[in-house]
Amino acid sequence: MKLLDQEEETAGEEEPGLCAALCGGVQDDGKREELKDRVRKNKMKVAGGCCTLLLLITLIVVLSQLCYSSIRDDLNKKNGILSPHLRRKVIKPRPNFEETVFSQNLTYHDEPTIEWSYCETDAYWNEEGAAIISSSAEMEILEATWQMHSMCLEVVDTVVRDPKLLRLFRVPTDLWPAVRESWSSGQRDFLGRFDWSYDGKNPPKMLEYNGDTPSLLMESSRISLLWKKDYDKRAQYLQSNYLEAAIR
């Protein structure tokens, strides 16, 4: 017991020294309280700064949401001539069109695609508008399609001969022999679709090339034609779609 009492007394004697070290050697009670008050104020400033930063980030996100939503709404409502060769026509979606395209095996119609903001996207299948193009615009797009397709084939010829490029394009090594055999034997490609950025004024710009993608048989052929028949019952427009005729 005596030994324990001695340890407690020793600990008690060390407390002033420890406090002095933490308080920077300040022994005066008034100065110590002043130092503690300054520490509390600094903590409040840091907390206030964090709250301000959080509010600023939230405001930026909200403003971005409103801005992109406005752009999307303006685009969907824009109904008129964009150029002499391209016109956007706002249309009313078919009643229950989601169920219609789902029954036609477009099961991914509601998958998000265009990201207008962090919180809002457009679904994969959208029936809020259609593009009406002139015959010269159609020919321009077709010519660009064949030119880009030929260039893509030239790229394929280069890639299949170079192991480094095959790895760059992430072609599994166990498929290399089959890919090279298919290319060297001249097997024909089946179908493809280019996704273009086109304003009717400047040449089309390629966004993506879907080559031999199975879903094209649905979304770019049959389902598009069925939509056109439902919307254009009086056959006022022709649809620039050659897949249906090509696969017959």
Q: Which contacts qualify for 161-169: CB closer than 8 Å, 24 or more apart?
A: none
Report residue 79 as tokens.
Answer: 């109904």
CB 159 within 8 A of CB 211: no
Name the one residue in this structure whose structure tokens are 């409502």. 77
Alpha-carbon distance of 155 to 159, in angstroms, equals: 6
Strand, coil or helix: what is 111? coil
Q: What is the pLDDT of residue 141?
A: 93
The predicted structure's pLDDT at residue 137: 93
Taking the C-alpha atoms of residue 244 and residue 237, their distance in angstroms, rounded to an integer, is 17
In 3D space, the residue among 117, 127, 123 whose CA is nearest the CA of residue 95 turns out to be: 127
The count of other CB atoms within 10 Å of the CB of residue 231 is 16
Cα torsion angle, 146, 218, 106, 98, sign? positive
CA nearest to 198, candidates 111, 83, 110, 119 = 83
Residue by residue, pLDDT tens for the chain (248 residues) are 444 444 444 444 444 444 444 445 545 666 667 777 776 766 666 666 677 777 777 777 666 666 656 665 666 555 666 778 888 888 889 999 999 999 998 888 888 776 655 556 778 888 888 888 999 999 999 999 999 999 999 999 999 999 999 999 999 999 999 999 999 998 877 788 898 999 888 999 999 898 877 777 788 888 888 898 888 887 778 788 777 677 66
**Closest by Cα among 119, 128, 130, 131 to 68:** 119
Predicted confidence at residue 65, as pLDDT, reads 62
Q: Which parts of 78-175 fold into alpha helices (H)? A: 97-103, 135-159, 163-168
The beta-carbon contacts of 181-185 under 8 Å, at least 24 apart in sequence, are: 183/156, 183/157
Token pair for residue 185?
Answer: 């034997």
Which pLDDT belongs to residue 2?
A: 41
The CB-side HSE value for 246 (13 A sphere, CA atoms) comes to 12
CA distances from 135 to 9, 37, 80, 140, 235 (A): 100, 79, 18, 9, 17
Element (H, E) at 72: helix 29-77
